[in-house]
Amino acid sequence: MTDFPHTPPKQSWTFSNDVNAEIRRAAATGIYDIRGGGSKRRLPHFDDLLFLGASISRYPLEGYREKCATDVWLGTRYAKKPIHLDIPVTIAGMSFGALSGPAKEALGRGASAAGTSTTTGDGGMTEEERGHSRTLVYQYLPSRYGMNPDDLRRADAIEVVVGQGAKPGGGGMLLGQKISDRVAMMRNLPKGIDQRSACRHPDWTGPDDLEIKILEIREITNWEKPIYIKIGGARPYYDTALAVKAGADVVVLDGMQGGTAATQDVFIENVGMPILACIPQAVKALQDLGMHREVQLIVSGGIRTGADVAKAMALGADAVAIGTGALIALGDNDPALEAEYQKLGTTAGAYDDWHEGRDPAGITTQDPALFSRFDPILGGRRLKNYLKVMTLEAQTIARACGKNHLHNLEPEDLCALNIEAAAMAGVPLAGTSWIPGRNGTF
Ligand SMILES: Cc1cc2nc3c(=O)[nH]c(=O)nc-3n(C[C@H](O)[C@H](O)[C@H](O)COP(=O)(O)O)c2cc1C
């Protein structure tokens, strides 16, 4: 025994309690962790940017008297029938299979009431969604699940999915628990068996083939529908340029914060780039090709508020897409269901085992007892309200920057709070004129 005080026990930062728990889980089960949602680590994000607002050198607009428009045209490059949306916040592709039928209906109801579009997903077009969506984008995916040429014609636009931000280079998963009779029938799969989607599209091997595929789709749809190409945030400069070369009307760019229905945790957390780093590269590719605003850019991955919308647009996006935010608006992870989350061994706000299909909110499930709890009319109303608030927030900021349209926001309206965000977003570090990696000086 010594009289000297002991040094308090130290936890290792490298082998933290979280890391050790995952090692124990792996050791006990021998399987990797699958979950839904997006990256949970702290990443450079829109929170690291601020708007400068107006002062003597900039003239703000008056909120109650001066308009700030929010509409957007998508697909003006080649499509005979481009899409016109009232607001630049769209609903991202989320599969029927991952989501219940009533959840799909609610997305259609909410988006239509707010004047925007919804998107199908890896699993085909449901009547719930088509019937309630004023503007529906139909995904054409590597898995070809639910692919139907008649549905291509029933859609308002077509989104060729090359990748997703949560898993660029990886395919989707839908575990057997969620493959009900209806999901199996729509995907042409056996019931109750785990399914892993292809990571590569069987119809092309590179941009030249993709161009041919897109021409085929245009022929099938009489050159009417805008064709989007969705890419995960991996090499956004080259991928955007190649998407334009392949004939895209719209590029959809999804950063690594982007949600997924089910993927390996190691993939979600370790592959891809934050959306903040992706947008300027994609915009640069469009500008270098003389195609900025000619080919529209929709960005997604962790967009939550009107401030995020405004920042994405100031960096050069034409519109944004939301997945996780829309699900939370519908009622996902609601603390009112805490007792039920506890029974599943989790807590409200952290529930991400969407692949298990036991969602007490009735959103990420195919169990009739659970999805019949979800009210699509109420869910749709909540989503409409959320979209309305996001739009009002973005307008408030745009007016303060003196802009009469959200599209007039520009990088000049922004500054960054730290060097990482300044370098990634290509805007000056606050209080300086320094853009790291661009002009090299303060
Ligand atoms: C439940 C769920 C299902 C999804 N299913 C698909 C899909 O079928 N096809 C696809 O391209 N992306 C899918 N995604 C990704 C979204 O389209 C979008 O890229 C992402 O959710 C955007 O990021 P956010 O969730 O942070 O808003 C899914 C996302 C979620 C949350």
Give the angle 341-342-343 at the CA atoms, nearest 5°.
90
User: Could you give the dihedral angle defined by the CA atoms of residues 176, 181, 183 and 188, in that order, rounded to the nearest 10 degrees?
Assistant: 90
pLDDT in tens, 233-281: 999 999 999 999 999 999 999 999 999 999 999 999 999 999 999 999 9
What gap in Å lies between CA 235 and CA 168, rounded to an integer?
10
pLDDT in tens, 106-121: 999 999 999 999 999 9
Between helix 101-114 and helix 376-400 the angle, nearest 10°, is 40
Compute the average pLDDT of residues 416-420: 98
Q: In sequence order, what are the beta bridge partners of 35?
A: 263
Residue 366 is predicted with a pLDDT of 96
Distance 440 CA to ligand 1 centre (A): 37
What gap in Å lies between CA 279 and CA 32, rounded to an integer?
31
Compute the average pLDDT of residues 374-384: 98
* Helices vs. strands in the chain: H and E counts, helices first: 15, 16
**With bands split at pLDDT 50, 70 and 90, how would you rate the model's confidence at 27?**
very high
Report domain extents, the chain: 48-334+362-425
- Is the CB of residue 323 below 6 angstroms from any atom belonging to ligand 1? yes
Residue 2 is predicted with a pLDDT of 63
What is the position in ligand 1's atom list of the atom closest to the CA of 252? 19
**With bands split at pLDDT 50, 70 and 90, how would you rate the model's confidence at 172?**
confident
pLDDT higher than 90, residue 5: no
Contacting residues for 340 by C-beta, under 8 A, at least 6 apart = 360
Residue 439 is predicted with a pLDDT of 60
Compute the average pLDDT of residues 283-298: 98
**With bands split at pLDDT 50, 70 and 90, how would you rate the model's confidence at 430?**
very high
Residue 442 is predicted with a pLDDT of 41
From 3.40.1160.10, 3.40.50.300, 1.10.260.30, 3.20.20.70, which CATH number describes the 48-334+362-425 domain? 3.20.20.70
End-to-end CA distance of the chain: 58
**With bands split at pLDDT 50, 70 and 90, how would you rate the model's confidence at 441?**
very low
What gap in Å lies between CA 5 and CA 15, rounded to an integer?
25
Structure tokens at 71: 């509409």
- Is the CB of residue 92 below 6 angstroms from any atom belonging to ligand 1? yes
What gap in Å lies between CA 68 and CA 401, rounded to an integer?
11
What gap in Å lies between CA 416 and CA 425, rounded to an integer?
8
- Is the CB of residue 98 below 6 angstroms from any atom belonging to ligand 1? yes
pLDDT higher than 70, residue 340: yes
3-state helix, strand, coil in the chain (%, to 5): 40, 15, 50
Sign (positive/negative) of CA torsion 12, 18, 19, 24?
positive
